[in-house]
Structure 1
Amino acid sequence: MSTTDFPISPLLPQIRAQLTAHARLVLEAPPGAGKTTQVPLALRDAPWLEGRRIIMLEPRRVAARSAATFMARQLGEPVGDTVGYRIRFENKISARTRIEVVTEGILTRMLQDDPLLEGVGALLFDEFHERHLAADLGLALALDVQSQLREDLRIVLMSATLDGERLAGFLEAPRLSSEGRSFPVVVSHFPARRDEALEAQTRRAVEQALRQHPGDVLVFLPGQREIGKVQAALAGTLDATAAVLPLHGELPVEQQTRVLQPDPDGQRRVVLATNVAESSVTLPGVRVVIDAGLAREPRYDPNSGFSRLDIVAISQASADQRAGRAGRVAEGWAYRLWPQSQRLEAQRRPEIAQVELAALALELAAWGSDALRFVDTPPAGAMAAARELLQRLGALGDSGSITVSGRRMLALGTHPRLAAMLLAAQGDREQALAADLAALIEARDPLRQGGDALAARWRALAALRGGRMPADANRGALTAIDAAARQWRRRLRCDAAPPASVEAHELGDLLAHAFPDRIAVQHPNDPQRYLLANGRSARLFDTSDLRGEPWLVASELRHEAKDALLLRAAPVDEARLRADFPDRFVQQEVVRWDADKRALSARRESRFDRIVLDSRAAGRVDPAHAAQALTDAVRELGLEALPWTEGLRQWRWRMLALRHWMPELALPDLSDTALLATLDDWLKPAFAGKSRLDALGEEELGEALKSPLPWSQRQLLDRYAPVRISVPSGMERRIDYAMDDDGLTPRPPVLAVKLQELFGLADTPRIADGRVPLLLHLLSPGGKPLQVTGDLRNFWQNTYAEVKKEMKGRYPRHPWPDDPWTASATHRAKPRGT
């Protein structure tokens, strides 16, 4: 095929021109436009490239091989010459390679190993709309490299369904769009019958498509399991003119190549594919698409602690892209296997918002900075949890920097939990066993009714290797686990065969390094409950195979309202725990707040992590621990547990109010949230030498609260938010301050004063450099409320006459002048006889 035969071809000169003038570009082009294969070829001789390589990121191995093979064929060369690819466990590049197609994990390792990217002139992110976590990380790292080290590096985002405007704004880059070339596609919904399984519905749709329409049929299914079921359902029901071919990432290269080429004999084909066929690869001859509307995508599974592939509904953008596959060569037809009333999300959600982030946190620690520009910022809560886990695994130090062990984990290219376990294995036998465990943990359960013992799964795997097959096991699942274990052994350079038998605790001894937060000890009073190292608790099934085990480690937990449920676990040998985790076993004196006694109590505790193994009274409270314990008690009970006086509350409210009214003064935050967050700084020193909460006096609390304020700020408080104010009568009257229920917004400050004391004052008094009027509570001579106003001038003009008329007879010995503007203010009654 000539390079001019692609819809993207007319746009190629503009792409070259934009990348000559700009370092970044966003390119939108629909499936089949040729962007994946033609853009790299068009850029390989760009002057700014200066002979350096182009690296193109492809999310999937099938697409990476296919794109590299197609480009090499266009050049009349074998793969590995000008165009090559690198994917997991496979490398076809040479010193002559100028265009290198890589999968996501490869790009991250390239950036981490060589941030300068020497010899690389451009990074192309293909199918960026899929928003895989590795692609988002790769882009963030690339942008950091470009801004800090390589201003000449070109970065191009390419996709069929990008939010191009948003991404162009994010990158501050030009945006180009290709119209593509497609034919009309008739879309219809193919209803399922009542209680009909997906494979049966799909079989009926395939049969109808072959009867009514020409060309090949492309069926989108969520995964290998569903492909196998549909393939079995179609076996024997189609005539000899149609071949049924699977397409997914785990197929051998030869089978993938066969699917991506036209049938040599012109036979019609039914291709059963995962979403690998949604983009990047082209299937010739497809006229009908049958779409189950499902995909396997990573979601965080709190039961296992990993992100696992769940079957989820696809987005509307994916549905449209899949349907478009039927209109590549002529008009086509798309059958959707979901109800027409079902509404899909408009776009696919980015993985970074919905997966577990330990691997990302480890990559950022290795990079040395997490101040990177992400299209979507990693959620703060998920990142905090990820870093806490990495510290438990020994991948991060207390300061958050990566450790030597953390770098070794990163080099293994797997989840940090599994990497920690693989590195902890001692000797060939344990390494082989760790490889088995890694494969078992990552895989779906091979037992149909296997209980909660992980050992049962391993024994089923050992039986398969020994030529035996447990009755309740899935042979296909065990075979896949065995193959994955071989890959792990190869990666670990472990030549030993896996053991033929093991003690159950041997599995747990290794598993503890992957799940140190889920090591558990049996509750002393309830044999079915276990206390976890992370401070929580869990319980066994009533029919558990693990009853009576003193120590366990859980690989899967179901979190419930009270205790978690142990779904999968293995026993652990306490002696091995003490050898492997000596720093987690501690003996120390602990001082805690006793809420019933409202005092501190001292205990001498033996603990494993957060599990209390033994606790005994320690007698006198150690003063060194008492201040911290009392501070923690206030943190638990709240600030109201402190001995507040009205004067101290008023002082705090003055500070809060003035901070709100005059932010330029930069006064400290004394809100509940801020005070509770800084208790160790301002309150803990005040508890020195005390063992009871009520031993803290009012004056000591006041000094503690005011201690962070320098003298200059205390003076500003008295100047702009005074306690008292002089009124025309010559007296000083108190100003009352208060806050709204939110504790952050000040209410108007109140001046309660007798009416006669304000004669001669035209306008409402103000504080805070004249910004805030006082709310006047005008009182009768007897101190009773007469009027509340924030506008004294209006009161004199419109209300005073009525008040005077009503009050003059009741308080005849007090002045009620006709003209309050000029009358003398007084706080006394008139002398007798006047």
Structure 2
Amino acid sequence: MSERTLPFTTDLPIAEVLPTVRDALGSGFSAVLQAPPGAGKTTTVPLALLDAPWLAGQKIIMLEPRRLAARASAERMAALLGETVGQTVGYRVRQEAKVSAATRIEVVTEGILTRRLQHDPELAGVGLVIFDEFHERSLNADLGLALCLEVQTALRDDLRLLVMSATLDGAPVAALLGDAPLITSEGRMFPVETRFVAAPAIQRSGPPRLESRVAEVVQQALVQDSGSVLVFLPGEREIRRVQAALNGLPPDVAVLPLYGALPPAAQDAAIRPASAGTRKVVLATAIAETSLTIDGVRVVIDAGQARRLRFDPNSGMSRLVTTRVTRAEADQRRGRAGRREPGVCYRLWSDAEDRALLPFPPPEILEADLAPLALDLAAWGAEADSLPWLDAPPAGAMAQGRDLLTALGALDGHGRISDHGKEMARLPVHPRLAHMMLAAGSAVGAGSLVCELAALLTERDILRSRRDTDLRHRLRLLHHEPRDHAGDVDRGALERVRRLAKDWRRMTGQSPPDRSASVEDCGRLLALAYPDRIGRRRASGTYVLSGGRGAVLADDDPLLREEVLTVADLDGGGANGRIYLAAPLALADVEALYGNRISEDEVIGWNNRDQTVQARRQRRFGALVLKDDPLPAPDPSRLAEGLVQGIRQTGLHVLPWNKACEQFCARVQFLRTAEGPDSRWPDLSPAGLLDSLEHWLAPYLSGMSRLEHLRKLPLLEALHSTVTWDQQQRLNSEAPTHFVVPTGDAIPLDYSTGEVPVLAVRLQQMFGTTRHPSLAAGKVPLVVHLLSPAHRPVQITRDVPGFWSSSYPAVKADLKGRYPKHPWPDDPLTAPPTSRAKPRGS
């Protein structure tokens, strides 16, 4: 270790483990370092390893999850060396780089490492890659580590990897790195008192808004505690509201926002120590959780919320959701209060809620849109399951991402990356926008304009209000100074979009925009990026998208009158996503752009409103119907299929049922039940009949297209078709419609009462019965209802012979006097059966 860096490390907790880190990377090629917030790992470890013999003058690349952290850590390290950024220590983030030929430590955001690996898989001149704040588990960090491990195995056995984290369980990471040493720094964070400030009971007016609660606790902390205050809020919107609520604080208290979209100068102002005699309140997003030390802060106020981007595979949309923080995030935030002296942390939740916090946030790879990952892997030439992951990407989300890439032409029919896909992978944007930027010049002739559009969709919306969904208005604001929307324009976002568009014009070789170029091309350009989000109006304010989803505009949106839209941004939840950004286009544009993917289909299906089969010839792009005409001579078999749909939707009751049909089904079901699970009889229950309509009913629907036509249906014949000739013979013998009793009379059987048929017969007709009647080849005894001469049940039995010896005498005694004209023998077993009364005079 060079003498120049030792003075900067001796007073930091991390200094105790630096020799262990150096030795681990000297004797091996990977290590994991766990150190709590404030230990000094981000700015100290790279400097301490800079002159290690095994580095041999090569570079160190350190990954940071956020641009602000990358800039701040590089500036801090440079200051420790007494240099300016860009000399020994530099950084690269999107739209900004400060490096030189002398740079040995390069702090980069994570996506930059992926693109560097794609360009130079060997990482020539790089001896160590440090993954800082790996506990955040960003998708790019997981991918970068997986790619570096493969490089280490296949190309660079001298490449060192160091994973650093504050809250992550390091053991699984160490195992992934080949049982790398796990080094822990205990740290010496100052004590932080935790104060829980639970939400008050709901009043009649409802719970207080978050910004009101936060502002109240800030004012309380400024009175009760010394030092500056760091407040954690979920997003920019909440920051602005709290900032407005704190208007009127004493002049010696400055309120400063801190979030990713702020200009660097504003971010630096929030990070700098408060001037002498003043205090500051920094209102920050999660950007301030890690890798930053804001001097003078000894009070943290945590609103307890985090904003995460979640991908919904069912809709193909990503959306920001606000969730409760996890234990790891809450501890990271709390640690900001004890970096320089004892501090205080206010948590806007209860002690009980604190104990219920989940331990860690979910890894982004499990919840993100994986189309960018699929493109990176295709460019790398690897399948996801061939790389080492801490958490493997879900197969379903990967398949969905590859499907999108295929639709955009990035992958060929065999799933390999195309030349177009290779060009897409070189652009630091989502594959949708990369395809749009590359295809626009040849397909639409608006290559420069598309760079502006891509920048608008990448950066924060330049309009603070979401009332205006028309992207054409935003393009016009880029070309002219804002007037109509002046009070609603985010000037910082506007300038960032202009700078980003300029960078992408340079990257793609486009000339500056021709101001005469029509922003009316906006919808056509968007259609290149979002072929699955071209929508056609189906009712006022509602659209069906080519991908199959529904979408809706607000009632007062000026785009309501447009017949066709391309939707760039909508809510991923619900049956109809709320449209946030869109632009109109013509049906002719869809034909021009996607003629090779438009199909001519004969669509025959059930129209429930008209109760008829509808036959149409449609020209379709996905779920989008471009043209719809009646089909003059539809295929009769397909008409039958459409009518089957209608019967299935409406129910079996629309068929012309009669007693014979019902009895037939019941007889078959009786034998099916009697044979048990291995029965080969068809399922003629209502559910079974509905499931198999195509097989037994469709052949009898020829020429029918309406429910009213079913009156002529030979339903019994159709039901008979469900059994074979042999089964029909068995049905007649084992489940007959009638049963012949001892008198020779054929008595109808009732199969509708349950699993066992019922024989209802007058008692006298059964005289002489010594064996109980049965069906199904003698396996199922009948339920016999023995009737009086007046056909009223006197006994229900499954044992007629037993009835003669047990209950018959009592029945005889009861009924003989009422029915004296009918025989009541003392021994019914030997008496002749009869259907008649006794002859007169007997």
TM-score normalised to the size of structure 1?
0.68
Cα deviation for residue 322 of structure 1 reads 1.4
Task: Say whether the 8 Å CA contact 1:520–1:531 is kept in structure 2.
Answer: yes
**Where in structure 2 are the equivalents of 1:180-579 lying within 5 Å?**
180-191=187-198, 195-240=207-252, 242-263=253-274, 265=276, 267-300=278-311, 307-342=318-353, 343-370=356-383, 371-426=386-441, 430-442=446-458, 443-444=460-461, 446=463, 448=465, 450=467, 453-455=470-472, 458=475, 461=477, 465-470=480-485, 474-476=488-490, 480-481=493-494, 483-493=496-506, 494-497=510-513, 499=515, 502=518, 504=520, 506-522=521-537, 530-536=543-549, 545-547=558-560, 549-557=562-570, 568-579=581-592
Task: Say whether the 8 Å CA contact 2:482–2:489 is kept in structure 1.
Answer: no
Task: Say whether the 8 Å CA contact 1:207–1:238 is kept in structure 2.
Answer: no
SS at match of 2:97: strand
Q: Which residue of 2 aligns with 1:705?
A: none
Cα deviation for residue 176 of structure 1 reads 0.9
Letter in 2 for 1:552: L
SS at match of 2:589: helix
Cα deviation for residue 328 of structure 1 reads 2.3
SS at match of 1:412: coil
The whole-number CA distance in structure 2 between the counterparts of 1:573 and 1:279 is 48
Cα deviation for residue 547 of structure 1 reads 4.9
**Greater alpha carbon shift after TM alignment, 540-549 vs 173-182:** 540-549
Cα deviation for residue 136 of structure 1 reads 0.8
**Greater alpha carbon shift after TM alignment, 82-91 vs 185-194:** 185-194
The whole-number CA distance in structure 1 between the counterparts of 2:8 and 2:198 is 42
Which of 40, 43, 53 is 1:37 aligned to? Answer: 43
The whole-number CA distance in structure 1 between the counterparts of 2:313 and 2:537 is 22
Cα deviation for residue 517 of structure 1 reads 0.9
Q: 1:436 to 1:84 in 2, by over 3 A?
A: closer
Letter in 1 for 2:419: V
Q: Deviations over 1:786-824 (max 9, x none)?
A: xxxxxxxxxxxxxxxxxxxxxxxxxxxxxxxxxxxxxxx
The whole-number CA distance in structure 1 between the counterparts of 2:574 and 2:284 is 40
The whole-number CA distance in structure 2 between the counterparts of 1:561 and 1:3 is 54
Task: Say whether the 8 Å CA contact 1:433–1:499 is kept in structure 2.
Answer: no
Which of 593, 615, 621 is 1:608 aligned to? Answer: 621
Task: Say whether the 8 Å CA contact 2:254–2:281 is kept in structure 1.
Answer: yes
Q: Which residue of 2 aligns with 1:169?
A: 175
Q: 1:530 to 1:91 in 2, by over 3 A?
A: closer
Cα deviation for residue 215 of structure 1 reads 2.4
Cα deviation for residue 540 of structure 1 reads 5.9
SS at match of 2:568: strand
Q: Which residue of 2 aligns with 1:93?
A: 99
Cα deviation for residue 537 of structure 1 reads 5.2
1:3 aligns with 2:9: yes
Letter in 1 for 2:408: L
Cα deviation for residue 235 of structure 1 reads 3.7
Q: Which residue of 2 aligns with 1:115?
A: 121
Which of 172, 179, 186 is 2:186 aligned to? Answer: 179
SS at match of 1:426: helix
Letter in 1 for 2:258: L
The structure having more radius of gyration, on CA atoms, is 2
Q: 1:258 to 1:591 in 2, by over 3 A?
A: closer
Q: 1:610 to 1:306 in 2, by over 3 A?
A: closer
Q: Which residue of 1 aligns with 2:733?
A: none
1:581 aligns with 2:622: no
Q: 1:527 to 1:73 in 2, by over 3 A?
A: closer
Cα deviation for residue 27 of structure 1 reads 0.9
**Greater alpha carbon shift after TM alignment, 273-282 vs 366-375:** 273-282
SS at match of 2:129: strand
The whole-number CA distance in structure 2 between the counterparts of 1:283 and 1:205 is 20
Task: Say whether the 8 Å CA contact 1:243–1:269 is kept in structure 2.
Answer: yes
1:74 aligns with 2:77: no
Cα deviation for residue 224 of structure 1 reads 3.3
SS at match of 2:183: strand
Task: Say whether the 8 Å CA contact 2:464–2:489 is kept in structure 1.
Answer: no
Letter in 2 for 1:375: L
The whole-number CA distance in structure 2 between the counterparts of 1:543 and 1:569 is 15
The whole-number CA distance in structure 1 between the counterparts of 2:292 and 2:298 is 16
Task: Say whether the 8 Å CA contact 2:26–2:54 is kept in structure 1.
Answer: yes
Cα deviation for residue 87 of structure 1 reads 1.4
Task: Say whether the 8 Å CA contact 2:606–2:614 is kept in structure 1.
Answer: yes
Q: 1:222 to 1:547 in 2, by over 3 A?
A: closer
Task: Say whether the 8 Å CA contact 1:533–1:609 is kept in structure 2.
Answer: yes
**Where in structure 2 are the equivalents of 1:664-743 lying within 5 Å?**
none
Task: Identify unmatched segments of 5+ residues in structure 1.
Answer: 626-645, 654-693, 699-781, 786-834
The whole-number CA distance in structure 2 between the counterparts of 1:262 and 1:535 is 53
Letter in 2 for 1:14: T
The whole-number CA distance in structure 1 between the counterparts of 2:318 and 2:349 is 26
Q: 1:615 to 1:403 in 2, by over 3 A?
A: farther
The whole-number CA distance in structure 2 between the counterparts of 1:103 and 1:527 is 45
The whole-number CA distance in structure 1 between the counterparts of 2:271 and 2:407 is 46
**Greater alpha carbon shift after TM alignment, 111-120 vs 214-223:** 214-223
Q: Which residue of 2 aligns with 1:635?
A: none
**Where in structure 2 are the equivalents of 1:805-824 lying within 5 Å?**
none
Q: Which residue of 2 aligns with 1:691?
A: none
Task: Say whether the 8 Å CA contact 1:429–1:498 is kept in structure 2.
Answer: no
**Greater alpha carbon shift after TM alignment, 25-34 vs 297-306:** 297-306
The whole-number CA distance in structure 2 between the counterparts of 1:783 and 1:449 is 77
Task: Say whether the 8 Å CA contact 2:313–2:397 is kept in structure 1.
Answer: no
The whole-number CA distance in structure 1 between the counterparts of 2:577 and 2:198 is 40
Letter in 2 for 1:334: C
SS at match of 2:446: helix
The whole-number CA distance in structure 2 between the counterparts of 1:375 and 1:35 is 22
Letter in 1 for 2:183: L
The whole-number CA distance in structure 2 between the counterparts of 1:254 and 1:144 is 39
Letter in 1 for 2:480: R
SS at match of 2:300: strand
**Greater alpha carbon shift after TM alignment, 549-558 vs 448-457:** 448-457
Q: Which residue of 2 aligns with 1:753?
A: none
| Aligned alpha-carbon RMSD (Å) | 5.0
Q: 1:466 to 1:620 in 2, by over 3 A?
A: closer
Q: 1:48 to 1:593 in 2, by over 3 A?
A: farther
Give the number of equivalent residue pairs: 665
Task: Identify unmatched segments of 5+ residues in structure 2.
Answer: 1-6, 639-670, 679-717, 723-776, 781-842
The whole-number CA distance in structure 2 between the counterparts of 1:323 and 1:399 is 51
